[in-house]
């Protein structure tokens, strides 16, 4: 399973919903993730440019992005970004692959 990090901010209506009915959103998020056999790894409420940091495991990046789109369509968040994450150890293989391609690339203007 691939690891994804999603950041999001609540819209005005999302904040109003939290104030009207304060609750832990983890169960609602788990239920949504279950629709694509994904798993909630961590959920944090944050301050700064994002209100939410979500770490999930999913088999496919398109599932992670589609879930974010579904939540965004509800109007409860004002922005959402999902990125793929790798452990430092896993990223070594990616760097090695990049090194094998580096000689074959000609930059613009050369």
26-34 vs 61-73: helix crossing angle, rounded to 10: 130
- The reply to whether 88 falls in a domain is yes
Residue 40's DSSP bridge partners are: 56
User: What is the per-residue pLDDT across 32-55, written as a single tens digit (0 to 9) for each?
Assistant: 999 999 999 999 999 999 999 999
- The reply to whether 57 falls in a domain is yes
Give the chain's residues under pLDDT 70.
none
Written as six digits, the tokens of 70 are 């579904």
- The reply to whether 94 falls in a domain is yes
- The reply to whether 109 falls in a domain is no
pLDDT of residue 31: 95
- The reply to whether 22 falls in a domain is yes
d(CA 32, CA 98): 35
**pTM of structure:** 0.84
Q: Maximum distance among all alpha carbons in the chain?
A: 60
Nearest residue to 33 via CA among 43, 44, 22, 24: 43
């Amino acid at each position: 399973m691939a690891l994804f990090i999603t950041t999001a901010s609540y819209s005005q209506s999302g904040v109003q919903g939290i104030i009207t009915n304060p609750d832990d959103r983890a169960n609602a998020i788990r239920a949504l993730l279950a629709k694509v056999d994904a798993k909630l790894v961590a959920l944090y409420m944050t301050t700064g440019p994002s209100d939410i940091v979500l770490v999930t495991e999913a088999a496919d990046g398109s599932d992670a992005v589609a879930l974010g789109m579904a939540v965004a369509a509800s109007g409860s968040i004002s922005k959402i970004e999902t990125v793929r994450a790798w452990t430092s150890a896993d990223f070594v293989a990616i760097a090695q692959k990049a090194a094998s391609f580096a000689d074959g690339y000609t930059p613009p203007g050369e």
